[in-house]
A and B are shown apart, each in its own frame.
Chain A
Amino acid sequence: MIRYSALSLLRQGFAGHGGWPRAWRDADPRPDYDVVIVGGGGHGLATAYYLARNHGIKRIAVLEKGWLGGGSVGRNTTIVRSNYLLDANAAFYEHGMKLWTRLSRDLNYNVMFSQRGVLNLAHTDAQMEAFARRGNAMRLNGIDAEVLDVPAIKQLAPLLDTSAEARFPIVGGLIQPRAGTARHDAVAWGYARAASALGVDIIQRCEVTEILRDTKGAITGVETTRGRIRAEKIGLCVAGQTSRLAAMVDLPLPLETHLLQAMVTEPVKPCLDTVVTSGAAHCYISQTDKGELVFGGDLDGYPSYAQRGETPLVEHVCAAAVSLFPAFSRLRLMRTWGGVMDMSMDGSPIIDRTPVPGLYLNAGWCYGGFKATPAAGWCLAHTIAHDAPHDLVKPFALDRFARGATLDEKGAGPTPALH
């Protein structure tokens, strides 16, 4: 593996770039491994990387049914933040934030982490009080947060309509300055490359068709489209498909699979240097390094495995975006796409062992899985390596629903479409 740097780029530039090796080995499956991670997305690759790096586990395979990074990690709106109210979420995502700030160096891959801030707009005083509650909790948890008044918001995002005539006038905002965006594909590729360099087998076009167990019910391996693979530990990192895989071992889960759309405009020169979200308008907006404005909104609202959505949601997001940023009206929307979400019943994830010995679960990320990639990989790797949950994810236990210890950041209750 050639270490990436300005120097190696220069050297290869003179040599016509013929010397760059594969970013990761496209491995063929071996008959058995210590740990098999199902799902070659960001979370699966991060888990494999940290299993190898932090826990010294040697024989690890990542099985991907399609192409690496083709699921949620390549379809999200790339927002990274830790602006959470609840202690458990705050601690976990803040750990993630610390991993993000050094991720490019850890992986020797520029994931383009850009700390341009995430600004939540408040449209009523009650909302502002709720934001204050969250912002104060963030600060007391050691996370950066600032309240902004309208002039400060205008300065930060000059194209925002901050007038009193707006249908939902902006009364203030809460910003996490260290939050921002990263290049989503690069996260998957960077983890794949770094994991591969540590000996992890990354196996694409390998779909799990059966989960194998012994007579006591413990995991012994998986049957795949590329043959049987033995392993006593399996980690599921298959956002959107978790219920389907868990059904192979008759494990019902508090998840519902939903469709979330995102969309980008044609690229324009930098005009929005932060991430803006509005609860009243149900939309979030940022600008990519290429210049496209990226928009996301609510779920379409019904279960779906189709990676495409309907127009009403797109129209609503555009209406919200144009209402917030009237100047964007003459920009053109260039591409829309859909992703399949594991919506958990309290809006928070699940990272835990399962009742099936040897089967570990990482699921239920709703819209928020991308920012959790490093921390989820870190904690799931620990959980698998020690067969005991990492302290940070103990609150994300699967049995929290039965105990009543749900982590309902929005207070929406067991209606996934409302999270």
Chain B
Amino acid sequence: MSAPGPARQPHRLGSGGHIDRSRTLSFRFDGCSLTGHPGDTLASALLANGVRLVARSFKYHRPRGIQGEGAEDPSGLVALGRGDRHEPNTRATLTTLTDGLVARSQNRWPSLRWDAAALTAVASAFMPAGFYYKTFITPPQVWPLAGPILRRMAGMGRSPTAPDPDRYEHRTAHCDVLVVGAGPAGLMAAQAAARCGARVILADERAWMGGCLLKEKTRLDGRPGTAWVADALEELASRDDRVTLLPATTVTGQHDHGFWLAADRIYDRPDAPAAGEGPRQRLWHIRATQTVLATGAIERPLVFAGNDRAGVMLAGAARAFVNQYGVTPGRRAVVFTSHDEGYRTVFDLRGAGIEVVAVVDPRPEVRGPLPDRARAVGVRVLDGHVIGDTRGHPTRGLEGVALHRYHDGGMVPVGEWIEADLLAMSGGWSPTLHLHAQTGARPVWDDDLLAFRPDPWRMPPWMAGGCAGTRGLDAVLRQGLEAGRNAVEAAGLRLTGAPPPVPAIDRDEPSEVGEGTPQAPLWAVPKPAMAGGKRFVDIQDDVTAEDIALAHQEGFATVEHLKRYTALGMGTDQGKTSNVNGLALLAEARGEPIPMVGTTTFRVPYTPITMGALAGESVGPRFAPVRRSPMHEAQAEAGAVFQTVGPWLRPRYFPRDGETLAEAVRREVLATRANVGMVDVSFLGKIDIQGPDAAEFLNRVYINGWKSLPVGRVRYGLMLREDGMALDDGTCARLAEDHVAMTTTTANAGRVMAHLEHALQVHWPDLDVRLVSTTDAWAAVAIAGPKSRQLLDLVTDLDVSNEALPFMGLTVGPVCGLPARVFRISFSGELAYEINVPAGYGDALWRRLTQAGAALGLVPYGSEALGVMRIEKGHVAGAELDGRTTPHDLGLGRMVSTKKSFIGKRLLQRPALQDPDRPALVGLVPEDGRTAIPAGSQLIATEHAAEAVPIPMLGHVSSACSGPSVGHPVALGFLKGGLARWEGQTVVAAYPLKGTQVRARVVPPHFHDPDGSRQNA
């Protein structure tokens, strides 16, 4: 907080508004030090300092000021923050002013005042909507050059380049009644619901609740409207066990079944913590039984030549700057309105000492309480007139407006320029129907309201106030009350307690809207022949009335075509102020009424949401949960290098003394093959299967037979998808007649479990079998190598002799003093055992085995060595089980039972899957005995090796390793026709990505111990 400085803020009123003048906040805009007060937005503070030029437009880089005062503002976009807190394209109108805030203009070079790209204005006659579709076509080299230039011209602000230092979070909330919008209707609805004991959430996108009661000088019950707001909020806050108030929280989307998304800009709240304290924004997932939408209405600009200058402002925004912020957005004002409510601006501006020189109104002979009062106070009311053009200074903005007489759509210049630096315009109000319409409601056009109303068939959500098309504060308050009570009843709650009283509205306030001349539709003032300005419809994306006419002329005559062809409403404001004007102009061009043209789809979100808020906590290292083996710590201590494999962190290798990956893997493999190694296999999927029909169930899901598997034995199995392709392989151990322990591959653990549950519940509910995933319940270590039996014998009293525990046998009992299941199975091709203990003992198992095995030369090995050994042995794994291979392709055709049915059997019989020419598993060794055959190579015929591409492919290399145990590199791959056609022949493994080719001999895919004598030892 800085000390009150010298007299600044030349456009700040001495009193009035809802700001705290006792405190001064410092901020910077484009390097200038400026001041404001608590209660200001960045927009109001800029205006208070007389800063009118704040931005450059998207296409023509035209100088722009602030046109609105809230979410609707299309033009006042700035960059906020410094360094890693930089943030582009932020609406100044929704940014709560804080001390030390730093803002910069954007989309300009070298400066906001002197933007080189504004020179495009000279060429703008040749850049109508969609001009880029019509040029840069020939020669073909031109678009690759022009495209990047256009891209640099577009794009508004700059992306941050550093990681975001702030934190975001998601929160879920449930309520009986969600009320969106804390204006008069929303406050009434929320009070009505809260008094019945309903759980209420009241959210409002603005930092200060109260809606139009903050912006207008309305008096309720003889007091300022803000006093009524304060009382209502106090009552709601007193019920804090049932009521949640969410200021600075935009409900951005309506989703299915009462689900709403709301973005809480915590740092924009009046009581915001300092940056870095707590989450910056919070995304609320709200499940509401009932919802009241009280989202108000958005004022429409008028379309006339030169309507984009800084100083041309929505009338309601001008009133809000005066009334809420005590800021004068100009010294000398003209009001341009097509309806009576715009006249309210006259009195509020005059009350703030702004000279109102004229009201320009296209309607002829305007009569009514407000126009009459304006005349009575001496303001020139120019009914039957329009503004045909404006003039101004490139950076200071508006200086004058050109008056034209207007009659029946035609206009005659009066030849008068009225000097003014503020033009407050109003083309009427459009109910804010975005949330209402997001799930498919179709708003209906109302010719009296000159706007779309809610779809009457899509309530609830209940609509109240301006968004329902309701005019007049009394009606708005009553509708809010009714909507709140409707919501309570619809939520299944009882209407109890006294409803909140509807306050009386002082009639001496300018609230007599609707008693005078009806609003006149004025979608665009014709462009006078000599007018210098363009008639902007969408001032963010620089879409003009001429663009809309051109789009129609070229056949882009539906509202969606218009939007896509001209970019109307495609900016960051999503056309809040421009869409209705645009489609009305399209309807005029088509010669059809507006309802025939319809609206564009209202899409989520209502206003843009920070990516960080949507991502929530699940970013960076927390993007996905990390799974660790129960023996992770012990392995880390043993020097393991871990690798991300799906959700898991797996030990990849255990380097010693600065070994490289290749050196360590070679050592681990050779030591295992020579002595004994151990590897963590806790990652494998494990499913416990129990019930009298367990074996029958296995029979139906695996291609091979299971009925004959005796208790105490293990069998390898392959299961298929229903389409005949291999899904997964693994082993099943029969622990009892009705009890099987299944393992799956790590990658497919979840998928196999779901597959089995589906089969059991959907196909065979008659089978008496139960399944439970035990992947996390067991820790497992495989010990492999000629000395593995010796090691096992050291740590258990169980009989582990070859006779008692043969290959594919199992035993249960204490190992290392831990309750264990021991399966004699082998992935490495060595004599090997897999020891399973309850997960909590995993760490102990690893440490005790390490200790016991030291004397035997036990080495830990990781997933790399495991992979090398399985390739040497010729076992298939993930690279082979790629979802496109049949049992035959994998060399497992002989396992397919012909005696029983199983999942995948029938479609496996399709002709293309029986084709002997299908790629099938083979082994590959380099012809020169030395050169590695890289995995990912494509296999081609030797006679094609020297040819130019395209070259026909015969198959590919799926897995490869240096073959430390066999003394030369080896690989597994698939070749069309398989071994039957290729055994002993030479093919070329081509790796054009690196420009290499290796001649490889085709051999059976078992390089190490092909007869199995080692694993059976």
Contacts and interface: CB of A to CB of B under 8 A. Distances in A.
B307 interface: no
A31 interface: no
A129 B88 contact: no
Contact of B151 (A10, A68, A291): A291
Interface stretch (B229-237, B353-361, B484-492, B717-725): B717-725
Interface in B858-892: 878-879, 882-884
A268 interface: yes
Nearest to A272: B159
Interface string A168-179: 110000000000
Contacts of A268: 88-89, 155-159
Contacts of B166: 329-330
Interface stretch (A55-63, A97-105, A222-230, A372-380): A97-105
A167 B938 CA distance: 31
B555 interface: yes
Interface stretch (A41-49, A239-247, A397-405): A397-405
A139 B158 contact: no
Interface in B584-611: 601, 603-605, 608-611
A335 B603 contact: yes
A168 B644 contact: yes
Interface string A61-72: 000000111100
Nearest to A400: B912
Contacts of B993: 132, 135-136, 139, 145-147
Contacts of B457: none
B135 A322 contact: no
A252 B940 CA distance: 39
Nearest to B85: A330
A133 B938 contact: yes
Nearest to A408: B884
B861 to A, nearest CB: 17
B89 A110 contact: no
B134 A267 contact: no
Contacts of A152: none
A51 to B, nearest CB: 21
Contact of A267 (B140, B572, B621): B572
Contact of B624 (A74, A140, A167): A167
B561 A333 contact: no
A87 B953 contact: yes
B911 A404 contact: yes
Interface residues of B, number: 125
B135 A336 contact: no
A114 B723 contact: no
A104 B143 contact: yes
Contacts of A265: 608, 611
Contacts, number: 355
B255 A311 contact: yes
Given A5-B137, A167-B622, A404-B910, A290 B938 contact: no
Given A115-B144, A137-B956, A267 B611 contact: no
Contact of A331 (B160, B558, B645): B160
A414 B721 CA distance: 9
Interface stretch (A211-219, A313-321, A357-365, A381-389): A313-321
A110 B624 contact: no
Interface string A406-419: 10101111100000
Contacts of A113: 143
Interface string A81-115: 00000010000000000000110110011101111
Interface in A108-124: 108-110, 112-115, 123-124
Interface in A163-222: 165-169, 183, 185-186, 189-190, 204
A267 B953 contact: no
Contacts of B133: 4, 109-110, 183, 186, 189-190
Interface stretch (B386-394, B669-677, B929-937): B929-937
Contact of B150 (A165, A289, A333): A289
Given A9-B135, A289-B150, A330 B612 contact: yes
Contacts of B950: 140-142
Interface in B632-668: 643-645
Interface in B281-317: 283, 285
Contacts of B1017: none
Given A329-B612, A331-B611, A266 B572 contact: yes
Interface string B121-148: 0000110100111111110100110011
B942 interface: no
B143 A318 contact: no
A125 B725 CA distance: 24
A332 B609 contact: yes
Given A268-B89, A411-B883, A132 B620 contact: no
Contacts of A291: 151, 154-156
Given A5-B138, A140-B940, A311-B255, A330 B87 contact: yes
Contacts of B796: none
A404 B913 contact: yes
A110 B572 contact: no
B555 A270 contact: no
B990 A267 contact: no
Contact of B615 (A21, A112, A329, A336): A329
Nearest to A141: B950
Given A159-B159, A335-B603, A112 B147 contact: yes
A290 B938 CA distance: 41
Given A133-B938, A135-B993, A142-B950, A315 B615 contact: yes
B163 A333 contact: no
Contacts of B561: 67-69
B763 interface: no
Q: Which residue, B155, B612, B722, B957, has most C-beta atoms of chain A within 10 A? A: B155
Given A327-B163, A328-B611, A331-B611, A136 B937 contact: yes
A8 interface: yes
B619 interface: yes
A337 B612 CA distance: 19
Nearest to A2: B134
Q: Which residue, B131, B570, B626, B884, has most C-beta atoms of chain A within 10 A? A: B884
B317 to A, nearest CB: 22
A281 interface: yes
B163 A326 contact: yes
A334 interface: yes
B835 interface: no
A270 B155 contact: yes
Interface string A333-358: 11111000000000000000000000
Q: Which residue, B85, B147, B615, has most C-beta atoms of chain A within 10 A? A: B615
A402 B620 CA distance: 45
B564 A74 contact: yes
Contacts of A319: 614-616, 618-619, 623
Interface in B74-129: 81, 85-89, 125-126, 128
A204 B555 CA distance: 12
Interface in B879-916: 879, 882-884, 907, 910-914
A316 B623 CA distance: 9
A322 B162 contact: no
Contacts of A6: 135-136
B415 interface: no
Contacts of A251: none
26 contacts: A4-B133, A17-B550, A23-B555, A26-B557, A104-B136, A125-B643, A131-B936, A140-B940, A140-B950, A168-B623, A268-B155, A268-B159, A270-B151, A308-B440, A322-B619, A323-B615, A327-B162, A329-B163, A330-B87, A331-B160, A333-B605, A333-B609, A337-B603, A403-B911, A404-B914, A413-B721
Lowest 8 CB-CB distances: which A-B pairs, in order? Answer: A411-B883, A132-B936, A291-B155, A404-B910, A329-B164, A332-B608, A326-B163, A404-B912
Given A13-B125, A140-B940, A333-B610, 13 more contacts: A124-B644, A133-B956, A137-B956, A168-B624, A267-B155, A268-B89, A269-B152, A269-B157, A321-B611, A329-B163, A330-B86, A334-B572, A336-B603
